[in-house]
Amino acid sequence: MLKVTKQNKYLLDTHVFLWLMLANKQLKERRTLETAALTGSLLLCPISCWEIGMLSVRSRIHLGMPCQEWTEQALKAPGLSIIDLSARMAIEASYLPGKFHGDPIDRMLVATARVKNLTLATRDEKILAYSEQGYLNALAC
């Protein structure tokens, strides 16, 4: 029997969420995230749902069913919750310390993780480099 212990809460970057839901073999740290799901410790920012919609409408991803239907089903995954966005997160995204690029989606994800003291699960090299500077907790996936 798997023993579940207190652990980090993880904010999933959009690509990590997609890889986790689609069982993509590219996903490193799958076991870590699946274990976190057992304690309800996986979070998703609503902006990722928008990004999935944009990737779908531009035919950059293929979900095998209409995007709205796929997203509704994926959001029912055990251990996953949608995080509420706040004005504080939006302002934080504008005033991130140090040097960080201007992509608004990445800025919102980083700000959300910082404000809520979450570990951002990502493979994005720019976000991981920002984490190495000490501004963010990140899990390289």
Q: Residue 2's pLDDT is what?
A: 34
Q: Which CATH number does 10-22+35-140 carry?
A: 3.40.50.1010
Q: Residue 3's pLDDT is what?
A: 37
Q: Where are the domains of the chain?
A: 10-22+35-140
Residue with tokens 């005033």: 95
Query: Does the reported pTM lie above 0.75?
Result: yes
Q: Residue 16's pLDDT is what?
A: 98
Q: Residue 7's pLDDT is what?
A: 62
Q: Residue 125's pLDDT is what?
A: 97
Which segments in the chain show pLDDT lower than 70?
1-7
CA-to-CA distance for 117 and 137, rounded, in angstroms? 8
| pLDDT tens-place string over residues 10-22 | 999 999 999 999 9
Instruction: Report yes or no: 33 and 10 within 8 Å, Cβ to Cβ.
Output: yes
Q: Residue 14's pLDDT is what?
A: 98
